[in-house]
Structure 1
């Protein structure tokens, strides 16, 4: 049996891009990854709502963390696809909670899904595929 990486070995920490966006890694295990963000005015589009690119980055980050918790240490698993459905507008000043999971991870492909909520309501959701590069 292949040993999977312990995502808490050094504590979950954001990479440079996630840190720049202010993402907080709340938890990760073999079942779920949870990442939060507090969008501010700098994360909004011209209409004053949170930019879809910010939401996409949060979904990308969370699904990536979820799949990496299921692959062996040192194995890369970049996205090969990420399909996003925007459900309702997200507003600045209210925490976004993104929950992602690795639905299945094999030797070559990982499948993920995630959703972002704000005040308990779904804002966006995504399904993704990852190449497992062992």
Structure 2
């Protein structure tokens, strides 16, 4: 018999409408505090934004077999999603009110396999350089023993958000 997983999410339009209405750091703190709905991708993959400060964001996930690829380990897309989220939100945490961002690229290096036996993993994103139009960030994926599992760099485009 097949396995199943059920999950729910809230209206993503509520959070999307709030982008740029406050600083990026304030926005992310509203997500952590549950005052804005978490993005649906967090429910889909079962990961959370755990910490945020200026220029830094941390996401975590407990890997399960629902994250597996056909060869019996966590799919690289799950790594990439966590790393992209951490790098992007690190950039977002530095933005003033009225500004938004989008990822321009993501370069990922996979260093160690992850399975359901790995335990909680966390992606730590930090801003390396911020400019007026672009920002460069990195993210590192660690296991509970602080072993580096993957590394990524990301460039983000910064832009004014309409309606702010």
Q: TM-score surpassing 0.5? A: yes
Distance 1:125 1:69, change over 3 A: same
Deviation at 1:18, TM superposition (A): 2.2
Are residues 1:123 and 2:123 paired? no
Per-residue deviation, residues 75-95 of structure 1 (Å, max 9, x unmatched): 221110110000010112411
1:43-82 aligned within 5 A? 43-82=67-106
CA contact (8 A) 1:7 1:29 kept: no
Query: Structure 1 residues 9, 62: closer, same or farther in 2, change over 3 A?
Result: closer
Query: Is 1:10 aligned with 2:35?
Result: no
Q: Secondary structure at the match of 1:10?
A: helix
1:114 aligns with 2:119: no
Q: Which of residues 116, 121, 125 is equivalent to 1:92? A: 116
Tell me the TM-score normalized by structure 2: 0.74
Are the equivalent residues in 1 in contact too, given 2:59–2:86 (CA < 8 A)?
Answer: yes
Gaps (5+ residues) in structure 2?
1-21
The question of whether the paired residues in 2 share the 8 Å contact of 1:77 and 1:131 is answered with yes
Alignment of 1:19 onto 2:43 = yes
Using a 3 Å threshold, how does the CA distance of structure 1 residues 121 and 25 change in structure 2: closer, same or farther?
same
Q: Aligned residue for 2:12?
A: none
Change (3 A) 1:8 1:83: closer
Q: Decide whether the 8 Å contact of 1:63 with 1:101 is kept in 2.
A: yes
What is the CA–CA distance in structure 2 between the aligned matches of 1:58 and 1:74, rounded to whole Å? 25
Unpaired runs of at least 5, structure 1 = none
Matched, 1:38 2:58: no
Largest Rg, 1 or 2: 2
Asked whether the equivalents of residues 7 and 28 of structure 1 are also in contact (C-alpha less than 8 Å), the reply is: no
With normalisation by structure 1, the TM-score equals 0.89
